[in-house]
């Protein structure tokens, strides 16, 4: 296995006899390899060639023979911490960063770059997902003489915002016109923000319904636009666009000999650029949280946090010459995400698993620390 991983060339009995102190003849090695081929663990790509592991052979190796290196996992954790922390911009506890989603997305993007560099494979990282999020604070901010910004702060990392028209108010003579004094507008919007927070704090976006009977009728002109905005944000919060999978390291994996043919390169590139919706069920924590019995569960290892898809086990055709190692990060009931590495089936699985587990451990701590900071810096904090 290791010989083929290092050389990418079919392995013959003479190579094993000459390169390793097996203390058996080439004929004995050929007989053993023939038996392994008969059991489906090896195969011969063409006549007179040596053997290479089959997908079943890799699976048997990963499940039965491989021992992930704990020291290597700790070493990679330290490397992640040093390389990301040395940038100075995303260290947990830094008070100079953007709040919530922007900061966490930047942290995850840097992490993806480091994971790709450490493993030599494509790194995939999903943004944190939550099964339910509740509103903590709403703020209306004037951004021009005709627009206001509604900011919805949730109890998780991903806040939302949307622009609304600044609706005309009734003038003293009964006619409609925009309020003239910016201070009056700011004061009015602050009162409305307090009302919205009082009404909706603790609700999900899906359940947010405003009761305007508790506020002065002068504010009801905002009712329709605000309810529509909250409805739009609810729909937006439930979508899982392709941009929620961050990708890094494509150049590294395309240098592998398995992807020497242009058609193979094209299929992988198209998958990573335009087919991320196909990747989502394989990598996201949402599908695994349900624990439903499905073909996907075949890739679960005894360590339920870790999943490994090898070759034909991948339901996505362009990935059937690849292996995918994924793990979750974060702690439920808070936001939980996934990360993984994608490379050829001729993958050094010990290193790939060490990189994924180390990154999952690091991101679990880093995201929790970042969210704890943000909770202390919310408008009400």
- Residue ranges per domain, the chain? 2-53, 68-129+242-376, 135-238
Instruction: List pLDDT tens digits, range 76-110.
Output: 888 888 888 654 444 443 333 334 566 788 889 99
CATH architecture type of domain 2-53: Orthogonal Bundle (1.10)
Cα–Cα distances (Å) from 161 to 138, 356, 361, 366, in that order, read 10, 33, 31, 25
Q: Dihedral angle at the C-alpha atoms of 29, 35, 40, 43, nearest 10 degrees? A: 40
DSSP states of 158-203 as a string?
Answer: --EEEEEE---EE-TTS-EE--S-HHHHHHHHHHHHHHHHHHHTT-
**What pLDDT is stored for residue 334 in this prediction?**
64
**Can 2-53 and 68-129+242-376 be said to share one CATH topology?**
no
Alpha helices, DSSP H, located in 86-181: 100-119
Average pLDDT over residues 304-310: 85
**How far apart, in whole angstroms, are the C-alpha atoms of residue 362 and residue 307?**
18
Asked if the model's pLDDT at residue 359 lies above 90, the reply is: yes
Whether residue 180 has pLDDT greater than 50: no
165: β partners = 147
3-state class (DSSP) for residue 124: strand
The pTM for the full model equals: 0.73
Query: Of 42, 66, 38, nearest to 54 (Cα)?
Result: 42
- How many CA atoms within 13 Å lie on the side-chain side of 6? 5
Average pLDDT value for residue range 300-325: 83
Q: What is the rounded distance in angstroms from the CA atom of residue 85 to the CA atom of residue 250? A: 24
Highest average pLDDT, of 52-56, 219-223, 369-373, comes from 52-56
The tokens describing 373, both together, are 């900071």
Note if the bond before 333 is cis, omega within 30 degrees.
yes
CB 120, CB 76: distance < 8 Å = no
Contact 162, 182 (CB under 8 A): no
Selection from 69, 2, 58 nearest residue 323 by Cα? 58
The percentage of the chain sitting over the pLDDT mark of 70, rounded to a whole number, equals 77
The class (CATH top level) of 68-129+242-376 is alpha beta
């Amino acid at each position: 296995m290791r010989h083929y991983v290092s050389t990418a060339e079919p392995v013959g009995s003479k190579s094993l006899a000459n390169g390793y102190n097996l203390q058996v003849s080439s004929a004995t090695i050929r007989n053993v390899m023939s038996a392994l081929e008969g059991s489906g663990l090896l195969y011969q790509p063409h006549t007179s060639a040596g053997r290479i592991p089959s997908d079943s052979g890799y699976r048997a190796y990963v499940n039965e023979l491989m021992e992930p290196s704990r020291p290597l996992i700790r070493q990679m954790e330290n490397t992640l911490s040093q390389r990301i922390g040395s940038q100075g911009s995303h260290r947990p506890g830094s008070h100079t960063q953007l709040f919530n989603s922007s900061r966490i997305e930047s942290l995850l993007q840097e992490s993806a770059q480091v994971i790709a560099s450490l493993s030599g494979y494509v790194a995939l990282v999903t943004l944190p997902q939550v099964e339910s999020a509740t509103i903590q604070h709403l703020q209306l901010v004037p951004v021009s003489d005709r627009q206001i910004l509604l900011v919805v702060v949730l109890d998780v990392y991903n806040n939302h915002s949307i622009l609304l028209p600044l609706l005309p108010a009734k003038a003293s003579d009964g006619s409609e016109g925009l309020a003239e004094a910016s201070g009056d507008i700011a004061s009015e919007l602050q009162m409305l923000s307090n009302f919205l927070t009082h009404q909706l704090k603790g609700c999900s976006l899906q359940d947010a319904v405003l009761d305007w009977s508790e506020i002065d009728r002068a504010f009801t002109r905002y009712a329709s636009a605000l309810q529509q905005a909250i409805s739009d944000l609810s729909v937006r919060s439930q979508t899982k666009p392709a941009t929620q999978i961050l990708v890094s390291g494509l150049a590294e994996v395309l240098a592998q000999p398995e992807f020497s043919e242009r058609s193979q390169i094209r299929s992988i590139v198209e998958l990573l650029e335009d087919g991320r919706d196909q990747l989502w069920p394989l990598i996201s924590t949402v599908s695994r949280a349900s624990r439903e019995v499905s073909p996907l569960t075949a890739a679960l290892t005894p360590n339920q946090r870790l999943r490994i898809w090898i070759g034909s086990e991948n339901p996505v055709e362009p990935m059937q010459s690849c292996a995918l190692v994924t793990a979750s990060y974060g702690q439920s009931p808070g936001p939980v995400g996934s990360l993984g590495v994608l490379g050829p089936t001729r993958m050094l699985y010990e290193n790939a698993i060490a990189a994924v587990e180390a990154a999952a451990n690091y991101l679990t701590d880093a995201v929790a620390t970042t969210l704890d900071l943000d909770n202390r810096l919310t408008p009400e904090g």
